[in-house]
Amino acid sequence: MELQVDGPGPAAPFLGARDLFETEYGIERPVTVEIRRDPDERTRVSHDGSSHTLIVSRQAATSAMARELALHEFAHMHHAEEGHPSHTLSTEEAIFLALSGRSVERRTLSQCYQIVNHARDVYADDVWIDVAPAAKLVDFLEASLAAAVADRPDDPGGWDRITGGADPDITAVNAAFALALVERHDLVETGHRLYDLAHAAATDAPHLGLDEFRRRFRSLDRDPTESEFRGALVDLTRTYASRTSQIAD
């Protein structure tokens, strides 16, 4: 893998991730990592016919998860080069098919994009978890979900809700994704704290069906056709939009 790291941040995590990744997989096109000073810069990957670019904040590049983040993004690049269905089907097409003829809130539409990204991330994680320990990933999932569950509003009248200020619907989906991922790769025991946090998230969104979303993410076909992956995305986003609109009504 030809890798170049530019910007105000360390190259070591990305070089280390490259060395690990290349023990099992390859990336043919040159990869450029652009580190930005902006702490709010979202991690983004772009691909064209000749190269890949990873844009990441300096905060992320210097975090304890930097190497795992790089491995995850290298896995996306690998799938893009290999033409994996999770990376050839456009997000817009899947969401259009799922929501055609429906009227949904802008918030729900934005969350449908997040659900599609979760499905793609399942396949990226299938790649890199094979080449590196995933303990930091489990810690990250636990901390992220704990923060959402603890995000309560300042208004005491809202404290009956367990997940409080965090959107309970997408928090439940995020919990389902986290459980699906650790179960798909046997990363934790059934008594792990993730299960308690997911139960709290499910309590705040009982209409959503957290266990169903967990099953759907966990059981995504490991070698799908494009048609199969399209169908899975349509079912996921359509189910989410239907259940969130019902509770809104």
Mean pLDDT of the chain: 89
pLDDT in tens, 4-35: 999 999 999 999 999 999 999 999 999 999 99
Q: What is the DSSP letter of 27?
A: -
CA distance 249 to 105: 12
Residue showing tokens 């994704």: 177
**Rg (alpha carbons) of the chain, rounded to whole number:** 19
Q: What top-level class would CATH report for the domain 3-82?
A: alpha beta
Condensed to tens digits (0 to 9), the pLDDT of residues 210-240 reads 999 999 999 999 999 999 999 999 999 999 9
Residue 248, pLDDT > 80, answer: no
pLDDT at 245 (0 to 100): 73
pLDDT at residue 160 tops 80:
no
Determine the Cα–Cα distance for residues 197 and 215; give it in Å rounded to an integer: 17
The pLDDT of 198-203, averaged and rounded, is: 94
**Rounded distance between C-alpha atoms, residue 218 and residue 20, angstroms:** 25
Predicted confidence band at 159 (pLDDT cuts at 50, 70, 90)? Answer: very low
Exposed/middle/buried for residue 49 (C-beta within 10 Å: 0-12, 13-18, 19+): exposed
Going along 173-221, which residue ranges are E strands?
A: none
Which has the closest alpha carbon to 97: 233, 241, 206?
Answer: 233
Q: How many residues does the chain have?
A: 249
User: What are the sequence ranges of the domains in the chain?
Assistant: 3-82, 85-248
Residue 155 has pLDDT above 50, yes or no: no
Pairing type for strands 52-57 and 31-36 reads parallel
Using one digit for the tens of pLDDT, what is the confidence trace for 183-200?
Answer: 999 999 989 999 999 999
Which of 60, 54, 71, 61 has the alpha carbon at shortest distance from 10?
Answer: 61
Q: Edge to edge, what strands does the sheet with 31-36 contain?
A: 3-6, 31-36, 52-57, 44-47
